[in-house]
Amino acid sequence: MGTFARTALPRALHRAFLRWYIRHYGVDMTECIGDIDDFRDFTEFFTRPLKDGLRPVAQDADALVSPCDGKVYTCGRIVDGNLEQGHGIPFSAAELLGGADEPDGSRYDGGHYAIIYLSPRDYHRVHTPREGTVTRFHYVPGELWPVFPAATREVRGLFARNERLTTFLQTDRGEIAEAMIGAFGVGRIKVVFDDTISNQGLPRANVTLPAPRALGRCEELGRFEMGSTVILLLPPTRDGSALRFTVAPGEPVRLGQVIARWGP
């Protein structure tokens, strides 16, 4: 599928395929820069950029914003190191970040999480949920189970089994982990701060950047070459404030929209 997506098809076939895809999935082409003739292959179309100013970014000091377009699967508090995959199925933050003995998992216990699913129609670049500095990332090779709702009901620990790349963003609210999860047909994940590309036969890696990368709120962090899921892990608050979600499972969200607020 990846080879097909990166292959430049004959122009007539390219147009026919993209027109079918746009109709089938209901892609809103008025939101992106360019039209179907401006994309050399399906990957370029799939990672198409949005027009400037199309997604207003909430700048409130107490806001956590959505890092992508998509739909909220689940969100809530991390209890005993676990978050909910959906349908009452738990999995651990430690396993998501790399394994049962992953030391970073415990730092999020008592904090919060949000899981956002990107469908085939969505914009597939992923951004930061708050301004901060990227200091390190984890890459974990894995499987490529589908991540649509029927699969999350059947495959236990799905998000902790699939290929994934987690970026750690140092913010004024603590270190936020942002995991990009691979899935069926979503073998390539790219980030802006490193040359690592997932699903290329690379080994597991825990990488500290030699030069930390400062990113503004909602600045691009990476992209999926096809679609998948983003998981945010937030540490417990340090100043006595509480984090309250302003969205609910099943609710669509847009990049830059407030999804939670810190407050008394």
Residues 47 and 59 in one domain: no
Close Cβ partners of 100 (under 8 Å, ≥ 6 residues apart): 92, 94
Q: 230-257 as b/e, with b when 16 or more CB fall inside 10 Å? A: bbbbbbebeeeeebebebeeeeebbbbb
Nearest to 166, CA basis, from 144, 133, 191, 149: 191
pTM: 0.93
- State how many domains the chain has: 2
Task: Note the pLDDT of residue 186.
Answer: 67
Residue 95 belongs to domain spanning: 55-263
Token pair 């008394």 is at which residue? 264
Close Cβ partners of 59 (under 8 Å, ≥ 6 residues apart): 217
Residues 137 and 238 in one domain: yes
Residues 184 and 243 in one domain: yes
Look up residue 186 and give its DSSP letter: B
Residues 59 and 33 in one domain: no
Residues 4 and 27 in one domain: yes
Residues 81 and 35 in one domain: no
- Per-residue pLDDT tens digits of the chain, which is 264 residues long: 778 888 888 999 999 999 999 999 999 999 999 889 999 998 899 999 999 999 999 999 999 999 999 999 999 999 999 999 877 888 899 999 986 556 677 889 999 999 999 988 999 999 999 999 999 999 999 888 888 777 888 888 889 889 999 999 999 999 999 999 988 876 789 999 999 888 888 888 889 999 999 999 999 999 998 768 999 999 998 777 899 999 999 999 999 999 999 998
H or E stretch covering 36: none
Residues 134 and 253 in one domain: yes
Task: Note the pLDDT of residue 87.
Answer: 78
Handedness of CA 81, 86, 89, 91 (dihedral sign): negative
Residues 65 and 184 in one domain: yes
Task: Note the pLDDT of residue 112.
Answer: 96
Residues 23 and 133 in one domain: no
Residues 42 and 81 in one domain: no
Look up residue 118 and give its DSSP letter: P
Q: Give catalytic residue positions.
A: 69, 127, 228
Nearest to 218, CA basis, from 165, 174, 257, 160: 257
Task: Note the pLDDT of residue 101.
Answer: 54
Task: Note the pLDDT of residue 3.
Answer: 81
H or E stretch covering 43: helix 42-46
Residues 29 and 140 in one domain: no
Task: Note the pLDDT of residue 99.
Answer: 63
Task: Note the pLDDT of residue 116.
Answer: 96
Looking at 30, 54, 78, which one is the last position of a domain?
Answer: 54
Give the integer Cα–Cα distance in Å for 94 and 108: 9
Residues 8 and 115 in one domain: no
